[in-house]
């Protein structure tokens, strides 16, 4: 039986979270909010009061695959955060990610929670939107639906609550900081990673600032953005499937190589080189 998402109204969610915060004496230091140490309240709250965050760069490719498959508008997820049916779709995307691991080090979230239960708190806003831990919440909910008695502790979830004045930009910065940590967590796919970089650039961050924040070289930041531009050109001008990132998800190195291969070429020759590259991409399995 799959978990069915039910949403509490924003007023009820905020009131319950505020009450829980005021009643809690548990405090934990957090170091990714506004570049300093912040003491956040830790609470135990029913999973019913939590929402998946839709501007989630880990689920970007999965979301766009759904948009293309179902012919939905590009803002379907961003405008649907308070919609139960959209939350349900996001839940299913997250469940699939929670079942993934990595052969060298990362154990699927499902396996960890099934054997060890919740070990780390989720990070949420005062409105109940999950900033960090969306996959874990999806897995806990699914395990709860699978066997409510064996997994009854997942009815309530431990969360750290961000200050009420946390802005959308603060949340993007938090995601960037968490993504940069050298821990054994499932990486973003390259599309989601490049979209996060693009968002931070749009917020006014420089290549140098991003390199420091993400613990990379400025050249790597620029190459990620150029590769994303090349992938977007391919999907729009050649594949006629704008926004269908599933077509390029497994071709990271291919699109990261194109900028250096066409660098310095006059426009006509660069465009011709792209057509050759795109043709090769379409026939890569042969």
pLDDT tens, position by position, 72-92: 999 999 999 999 999 999 999
Q: What is the pLDDT of residues 234-265, one digit of tens each?
A: 999 999 988 889 899 999 999 999 999 999 99
User: DSSP characters for 189-251?
Assistant: PHHHHHHHHHHHHHTT--HHHHHHHHTS-HHHHHHHHHHHHHHHHIIIIISS-TT-GGGTTT-
In this prediction the pTM is 0.87
Torsion sign over Cα 27, 32, 34, 35: positive
Half-sphere exposure in the Cβ direction for 222 (13 Å, CA): 8
Q: Tell me the percentage of the chain whose pLDDT exceeds 70.
A: 94
Q: What is the pLDDT of residues 12-63, one digit of tens each?
A: 999 999 999 999 999 999 998 988 899 999 999 999 999 999 999 989 999 9
Instruction: Walk across the sheet containing 27-33 and list its strands.
Output: 27-33, 36-46, 156-161, 122-124, 129-132, 51-52
136, 154 Cβ separation under 8 angstroms: no
149, 7 Cβ separation under 8 angstroms: no
Predicted pLDDT at 103: 47
For the chain, the average pLDDT equals 91
Q: Tell me the percentage of the chain whose pLDDT exceeds 90.
A: 74
190, 257 Cβ separation under 8 angstroms: no
């Amino acid at each position: 039986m799959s978990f069915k998402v039910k949403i509490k109204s924003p007023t009820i969610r905020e009131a319950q979270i505020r009450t829980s915060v005021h009643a809690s004496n548990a405090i934990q230091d957090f170091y990714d909010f506004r570049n300093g140490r912040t003491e956040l309240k830790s609470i135990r709250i029913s999973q019913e009061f939590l929402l998946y965050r839709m501007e989630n760069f880990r689920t970007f490719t999965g979301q766009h695959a759904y948009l293309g498959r179902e012919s939905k508008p590009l803002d379907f997820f961003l405008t649907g955060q308070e919609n139960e049916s959209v939350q349900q779709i996001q839940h299913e995307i997250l469940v699939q990610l929670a079942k993934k691991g990595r052969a060298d080090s990362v154990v699927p979230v499902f396996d960890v929670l099934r054997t060890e239960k919740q070990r780390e708190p989720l990070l949420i806003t005062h409105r109940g939107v999950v900033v960090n831990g969306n996959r874990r919440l999806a897995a806990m909910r699914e395990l709860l639906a699978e066997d409510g008695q064996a997994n009854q502790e997942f009815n309530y979830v431990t969360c750290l609550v961000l200050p009420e004045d946390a802005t959308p930009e603060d949340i993007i910065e938090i995601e960037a900081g968490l993504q940069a940590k050298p821990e054994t967590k499932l990486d973003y796919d390259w599309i989601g990673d490049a979209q996060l970089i693009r968002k931070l650039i749009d917020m006014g961050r420089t290549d140098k600032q991003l390199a420091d924040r993400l613990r990379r070289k400025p050249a790597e930041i620029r190459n990620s953005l150029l590769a994303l531009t090349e992938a977007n050109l391919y999907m729009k001008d050649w594949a006629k499937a704008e926004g269908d990132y599933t077509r390029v998800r497994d071709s990271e190195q291919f699109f990261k190589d194109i900028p250096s291969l066409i660098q310095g070429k006059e426009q006509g020759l660069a465009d011709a080189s792209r057509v050759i590259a795109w043709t090769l991409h379409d026939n890569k399995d042969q």
